[in-house]
Amino acid sequence: MKTSFATTCKGRLHHLRETLPQNLRDTAHIPDLEFNVIDYNSPDGLEEWMRENMVEPIASGRVVYYREKTLPNFIIPHAKNLAHVVGTGDVLLNLDADEFLGEGFTEQFIKVMGSRKKVVAQFGIHPGHGGRIGFHREDFYKLRGYEEEKMPWGRALDDLDLWTRALHEGLQNAGFQWPTMRAIEHG
């Protein structure tokens, strides 16, 4: 079962340069895993940093890098949908640019998702916000991904909307607490 972590980034290079290398180290022993990074026209040198620092992970397919250059504004649900579409995994997990996977999280996530079908796994990182949300690929597509038209920006309402729609469609919550889940604190 291949797993795809989907990360969107606009103006968050300062976070991604901390989290992505650490997340790659924490999962180096796990086969069939990819990190999909969507550079949503980021103005902070993200493209140059990726091309200079992620040469081997990109060449090996461990990191998939895609730059969206056509849209001037950051549309979070669109960016997340794009990150999941470029992923080739059987299981998809949204992973914000400021989030560390933490030791052992990925193995537990793969175990939970591999042992059950028709599940949605939601892990709140930020109090009162969304965070990580994972699906089997076919369920994500049946739900038609994130709502791009009506979702206001901020407070992870896009994650909440998708999770709520999943539960209404009969998917069961498979979230779990993991002691090493953490994110970079910021305003």
pLDDT at 59: 98
Instruction: Give the residue ranges of the chain where pLDDT is below 70.
Output: 124-131, 150-156, 187
* pTM for the structure as a whole: 0.90
Letter for the amino acid at 38? I
Reported as a single tens digit per residue, the pLDDT across 23-36 is: 999 999 999 999 99
Structure tokens at 3: 């797993």
Query: What's CA 37's distance to the chain center, in Å?
Result: 8
Q: Are 118 and 70 in contact (CB under 8 A)?
A: no
Q: How far apart are the first and last CA of the chain?
A: 36
C-alpha 42/C-alpha 45 separation (Å) is 7
C-alpha 28/C-alpha 145 separation (Å) is 28
pLDDT at 124: 62
pLDDT at 154: 54
